[in-house]
Amino acid sequence: MSVTSMVVDFRGLTPHPVAADVAVARARLFDTSVWVTYRPDPHESCRRTACGLGAVRAWDLLDTLMDLPAELPIPLNTLSPAVRRRLLRAPRGVVSVSEGTVVRHLVPPLTPLLAAVTSRSWERGLVAASRFAPYCQRMVVVSTLPADEAQALRQAELHGIGVVLARGQHPEVLVEPEPLADWQPTPAWWRFAEDIYGQTIPAHPQG
C-alpha cells in the first residue's frame, strides 16, 4: 500500500488513514501548518507515559543517543566525559545507569511517512513541501493549478512532490510523491519525529 493510498479522503482537507497502524494529524512544522501521516510506536508511547516523559528535543542529546544501541549496556568508561555528563543529565526514561554501564531506552516515538501541505499558491506550496525532503514523502494539496498544468505537474514531479487536486467532492491524486531513496536516520530526522510527537501526544496510547 502506498503512502498516498493511506490518505484516502481530502474532503474538507481532512485526510483519514485506512491502515490501522497509521495516524494522521495536523501539526505546525517549519513554520508551516501541514497534515502529517505517521506510524506511531505504541510501546514507546506507553513507556514514555509511564515515565512521565514527553518529546525529547535536545539536539546534543539525540545526537549522542544515536551512537548508542538501544537496550544494550555500554561501559561508561568507553565514553567521553562530555558524553557521560550529557547522559547523566538526561530526563528520566531516556537512559538508565548502573554498575558502570549505561543503557539507552529512548527510541523514536513514531515514523513520519508523509507531509501534506495545503496551499492556495502553487509556488508557495511547492516551496513549503520541499522543506520536508530529508524527513518523509511530500505532497501539496491545491484547489487550482497554474495555467500551464502540464508544466506545473512536471515541476512537482521533478522535485519528488506529490500533487492532490482538491476540487469538488472527489480529490484527485495527479502526481504520486517520490519515495525516499537511500534514507538513513539522522539526529535532525529524530528531532523532526519528536516535534510531531510533542504536538500529537494526546492521540497516543496513555498509561
142 backbone dihedrals φ, ψ, rounded to 5°: -130, 155
What is each CA distance from 165 to 10, 30, 113, in whole angstroms?
Answer: 9, 23, 20
- Whole-angstrom Cα distance, residue 109 to residue 93? 13
Residue 10 has pLDDT above 90, yes or no: no
Strand partners, 97: 102
More reliable by pLDDT, 205 or 74: 74
More reliable by pLDDT, 203 or 157: 157
For the chain, the domains span 1-53+107-207, 57-105
Residue 12 has pLDDT above 90, yes or no: no
| All cell numbers assigned to 5 | 493510498
| All cell numbers assigned to 138 | 511530500
Can you give the pLDDT at residue 113?
Answer: 95
Output the average pLDDT for the chain: 89
pLDDT confidence bin for 61, thresholds 50/70/90:
very high
Residue 204 has pLDDT above 80, yes or no: no
- Whole-angstrom Cα distance, residue 9 to residue 97? 47
- Whole-angstrom Cα distance, residue 136 to residue 151? 24
Q: What is the arrangement of strands in the sheet containing 101-104, beginning at the earlier edge strand? A: 73-75, 101-104, 95-98
pLDDT in tens, 139-183: 999 999 999 999 999 999 999 999 999 877 778 899 999 998 777
The whole-number average pLDDT for the span 108-123 is: 95
Can you give the pLDDT at residue 169?
Answer: 72
Q: What percent of the chain has pLDDT over 90?
A: 78
More reliable by pLDDT, 192 or 6: 192
pLDDT in tens, 62-108: 999 999 999 999 999 999 999 999 999 999 999 999 999 999 999 99
> Are the CB atoms for 52 and 190 separated by under 8 Å?
no
Buried/exposed code over 137-169 (b: 16+ C-beta within 10 A; e: otherwise): bbbbbbeebeeeeeebbebbbeebbbbbbbeee
Residue 207 has pLDDT above 80, yes or no: no
The whole-number average pLDDT for the span 14-21 is: 61
Can you give the pLDDT at residue 2?
Answer: 53
Residue 198 has pLDDT above 90, yes or no: yes
